[in-house]
Structure 1
Amino acid sequence: MTMPSEHQCPFHRSSPPDAAPVGSRQTWPPGPRTGLTGWRLLIAMSRDLPGTLAAWQKAYGDIVHLRIWPEHEVVVADPQLARELLVTHHDALIRWERGIRVFSQVHGHSVLTAEGEAWRSRRHALVPGFLPKAVEGFSPTIVTAATQAFARWPGEDANWPIESALTMLTMDVILQMVFSSHIGEDVRVAEQAIRVTSAAANAEFYWPASMPDWMPWKRNKRKSLRTLKDLIERHLQHRLKLAREAWPDDLLTRLLQSRDDGTALSMQNVRDECMTIFLAGHETTAATLVWWAWCMASNPDAQRSAREEVQRVLQGRAPSAETLPQLAYLVQTLKETLRLYPVAPLLISRRATRAVQLGEWTLPARTLFMIPVHLMHRDPRWFADPEAFRPERFASDAPGVPEPPRGAYIPFGAGPRVCLGQHLAMNEMTVIAAMLLQRFTLSVPAGAAPPRPVLNVTLRPELPMHLAIMQRR
């Protein structure tokens, strides 16, 4: 029997009368028993967040209440209500303060962590560089980086560390886009530093409170943060030593020039934006390409169809702004990968600044909302045979494939906070995927088990992924 959660708690007694939660049952939505503090729910979530949320959805429905003292959190797995929350009620929401504090340790006060007017002005300044037309201009950079990277791959390897190789490639691409520079010898150190900081950040999401970073057991985190900040600083200082007329047309130059155009960006703001673009710009792309490579290797028929399309459209040439729109099936394989393995399977929790009406529930100010993207992406009500890799479900003219409700597929989020780099990510992934299929065949190593997805801010395989590769003649 589902027991309703009591809403009269010290945390919400100070809410104004009009913010009292009133629904058809005059209470909070159903949810798991919490005990005295509810912190045992945090422990379960920290061990397996996707699995735990899936179990709660099965037990309590699409709207689940979690009482984790001193918070009330509501998990919204209904596509219509999730979209309503992110689009209709966006002005009543801010991001979860603790999550932003954790991210700010790495990203500073960038567009990722800013709120209110600071966020609006920052996003307005950045948007032109990430519009589809502007993104097209980066295609030659991506082609050059991919050509150089694939030339270093072996002709044949039964156990190729493809996750590391693709991460190195996307890291090189984003450094060229931001700094017109190559990753060089920094790649291994940077890759490890990102893993350490991501794991540390993910762990801190589930702690009731954070200990200072100077504590002895946080030495690896401190070292990794310094590595990443030094990397950004070296590239920034190199640019500032050049004469302005020698500045290349890249994202760093655009950020620096925006300071001259009246945008209130300090030099520290420029550093912070560079860090966010570097980390978010390569990590989400790399993670998606890793999962795409697995989907191709484990679904040889889909790989064959995608390769045939690439061969037919490109005729051995490199992808370009003119040919990319013709790679429809290849894009479908990427979209299906993002459905099965959304690299951000949960959007950063939102805090209500005032009462929010959501379906039958009126939820008070200070309620936290969590949107489990991965649950909606694998819901059989919206996607038939949801565990199967079926790219054709994203074909615009697919016969007999019902259109999922809006909000059921949101790999880049929705509303004003939708991912700024979504067009760049899709462009980059399509170019790299096409060029990889031109050169290599992917297969699952003998005896290899399917990778287990693990969430450390982004969704990655629990163990570094290796695949068998063979160069095409």
Structure 2
Amino acid sequence: MKPSTPFECPHHAALRAASSEPAPQPAGSWPPGPAPGLTGWGLLRAMSRDLLGTLEGWRRAHGDVVHLRIRPEHQVVLTDPALVRELLVAQHEGLVRWERGVQVMAQLHGHSVLTAEGQPWRARRQALQPSFTPKAVQSFVPDIAAASGKALAGWRADGAAWPIEQAFTSLGMDIILRTMFSSEIDADARLAERAVHEVSVAGNAEMYWPASWPDWMPWKASKRRAMKMLRGLIERHVTTRLALARDLWPGDLLTRLLILHLDDPDAWSLQAVRDECMTAFLAGHETAAATLTWWSWCMAANPAAQAAARAEVDAVLRGRDPAAEDLPALACLKRTLQETLRLYPAAPVLLSRRSTGAIALGGWRFPARTMFTVPVGLMQRDARWFPEPDAFRPERFADDAGKQIRGAYLPFGAGPRVCIGQHLALAEMTVVAAMFLQRFEVAAPEGMAPPEPEFHITLRPRESLKLLLARRAP
């Protein structure tokens, strides 16, 4: 979902024009950064305690290109939109994803499009892309609406604080089960919600260590159970589908993957199908559920924006469930989702990249094996690109808004590795949000402080979010 007419800070534009060709830095020099001490591992500990807060402090102190010396690595943190786009788009071929991050994710995702590199990644991405185009995802809108209608009918509006984060997570689980497996939520899926949380917390913690203890260690029992549960869920759906006659297979994502397997079993083994199912299952429900959770808070904290989005929904839908052809007309609602993704991107820090050769960026020449980190969450709350950056202002994304710096808004990443499921996620969030506003008004309990974000692979409230719902008259 791209803003049509972005905003650019005039002062920054003048500075950029005056220094469009930065003076080259001496060979072998590095940008400024925090003192590393003997090993730099203290910097790593600081990031493990508060990643975004720590990176923001270093950005304020040292600028948009910050060098971290964490032995044996050299890491560079980029928060300049132009340099970020140069890195992720123009320099893409000279990068690989951070090996340790991929290793941790591959424990559960296997060798999916999320973790693959080089030609294997290109082949998978090309094969999967047709299932995730804007036109392709329209076929899933009826399933999304059916799951939403069923779930929302059971949400209580009795004056007590409703566990809205848990409710959106369950709904996201139901939606991904329907779109992937043509299955509805059941007791196993409820257990999967907790399992996803367990593996996310465990995976985030392991990212900060150079190696992981084996999963058979006694203190990793909860992670073992969670991974066994999730793998079992995927395996049951694949096995059940294969037992059906081919002409009875529904037109869901699992069928599309199994057709790839039948057409080219060497390139698409059953294990490859399982790996892609796992990635789609985890990413497909988590991103949408996290964003809708934050969106509900933004609606509760901004009644005028909530009322404007609801008025549009009422005018466009007139009480019926949304269809695919309705989604382009819900422009005001979409802007509230865009602004939510700006303030609370599900992935506030993109998985770090490593250069395979020397890379020139902004006057610096970085040697091979340099690590690059892009904290999207900081860029999207930078006053240079977004005035009043902490304010919820959906009008930033209106057609008649000012121009926005390219690269400052990247909730789904950028370049060839932009999130493959972004169109499905946006369609899902728009349908769910519209149907929610048809049925409820949402408010924060009196005296409630804004929820504190916490980063465990995705960005979630530190304490489970609970809000007040008032059911609208039919």
Q: TM-score, normalised by structure 2?
A: 0.93
Aligned to 1:419: 419
Report the aligned-residue RMSD: 1.0
Tell me which of 344, 352, 355 is aligned to 1:352: 355
CA displacement 1:245-295 (0-9 Å, x = unmatched): 111111000100112333711000000000000000000000000000000
Q: Is 1:282–2:269 an aligned residue pair?
A: no
Q: Is 1:318–2:321 an aligned residue pair?
A: yes
> What displacement does 1:317 show?
1.2
Aligned to 1:470: 470
> What displacement does 1:75 show?
0.2
Letter in 1 for 2:447: G
Aligned to 1:4: none
Q: Is 1:391–2:394 an aligned residue pair?
A: yes
Inter-partner Cα distance in structure 1 for 2:463 and 2:434: 26
Aligned to 1:443: 443
SS of equivalent residue, structure 1 residue 159: coil
Aligned to 1:377: 380
Letter in 2 for 1:406: R
Inter-partner Cα distance in structure 2 for 1:175 and 1:188: 12
Inter-partner Cα distance in structure 1 for 2:298 and 2:187: 30
Q: Is 1:147–2:149 an aligned residue pair?
A: yes
CA displacement 1:78-137 (0-9 Å, x = unmatched): 000001000000000000000000000010110000001110111111000000000111
SS of equivalent residue, structure 1 residue 330: helix
Inter-partner Cα distance in structure 2 for 1:357 and 1:183: 50
Tell me which of 119, 122, 132 is aligned to 2:121: 119
Whether contact under 8 Å (2:199, 2:223) holds in the other structure is: yes
Letter in 1 for 2:68: L
Question: Following superposition of structure 1 onto structure 2, how do residues 164-179 of structure 1 map, counting pairs within 5 Å?
Answer: 164-179=166-181
CA displacement 1:379-427 (0-9 Å, x = unmatched): 00000100000000100113xxx32211000000000000000100110
Inter-partner Cα distance in structure 2 for 1:340 and 1:155: 27
SS of equivalent residue, structure 2 residue 354: strand
CA distance 1:380–1:25, change in 2 (3 Å): farther
Tell me which of 357, 361, 364 is aligned to 2:364: 361
Q: Which runs of 5+ in 2 are unaligned?
A: 1-23
Inter-partner Cα distance in structure 2 for 1:439 and 1:212: 48
Whether contact under 8 Å (1:24, 1:360) holds in the other structure is: no
Aligned to 1:105: 107
Tell me which stretches of 4 or more aligned residues in structure 1 moved more than 3 Å: none
Inter-partner Cα distance in structure 1 for 2:446 and 2:220: 39
Q: Which runs of 5+ in 1 are unaligned?
A: 1-21
Aligned to 1:428: 428
> What displacement does 1:210 show?
1.6
Inter-partner Cα distance in structure 1 for 2:317 and 2:462: 35
SS of equivalent residue, structure 1 residue 397: coil
Letter in 2 for 1:108: G
Inter-partner Cα distance in structure 1 for 2:331 and 2:240: 41
Inter-partner Cα distance in structure 1 for 2:178 and 2:132: 15
Letter in 2 for 1:106: L
Letter in 2 for 1:453: P
Aligned to 1:222: 224
> What displacement does 1:31 show?
0.3
> What displacement does 1:24 show?
4.7
Inter-partner Cα distance in structure 2 for 1:25 and 1:31: 17
Inter-partner Cα distance in structure 1 for 2:460 and 2:365: 36
Aligned to 1:15: none
Larger deviation, residues 340-349 vs 442-451: 442-451
Q: Is 1:60–2:62 an aligned residue pair?
A: yes
Inter-partner Cα distance in structure 2 for 1:187 and 1:236: 15
Q: Is 1:160–2:131 an aligned residue pair?
A: no
Letter in 2 for 1:50: L
Whether contact under 8 Å (1:351, 1:368) holds in the other structure is: yes
Aligned to 1:212: 214
SS of equivalent residue, structure 1 residue 154: coil
Whether contact under 8 Å (1:90, 1:415) holds in the other structure is: yes
Tell me which of 335, 338, 341 is aligned to 1:338: 341
> What displacement does 1:25 show?
7.5
SS of equivalent residue, structure 1 residue 435: helix
CA displacement 1:184-209 (0-9 Å, x = unmatched): 11233111111110001000111132
Inter-partner Cα distance in structure 1 for 2:427 and 2:407: 22
Inter-partner Cα distance in structure 1 for 2:211 and 2:38: 18
Whether contact under 8 Å (2:79, 2:379) holds in the other structure is: yes
Inter-partner Cα distance in structure 2 for 1:289 and 1:167: 9
Whether contact under 8 Å (2:344, 2:459) holds in the other structure is: yes
> What displacement does 1:157 show?
3.8
Inter-partner Cα distance in structure 2 for 1:315 and 1:389: 27
SS of equivalent residue, structure 1 residue 155: coil
SS of equivalent residue, structure 2 residue 184: coil
Give the number of equivalent residue pairs: 449
Aligned to 1:7: none
Letter in 2 for 1:452: E
> What displacement does 1:182 show?
1.2
SS of equivalent residue, structure 2 residue 126: helix
Tell me which of 244, 265, 269 is aligned to 1:266: 269
SS of equivalent residue, structure 2 residue 291: helix
Q: Is 1:81–2:51 an aligned residue pair?
A: no
SS of equivalent residue, structure 2 residue 360: strand
Letter in 1 for 2:284: G
> What displacement does 1:156 show?
2.6
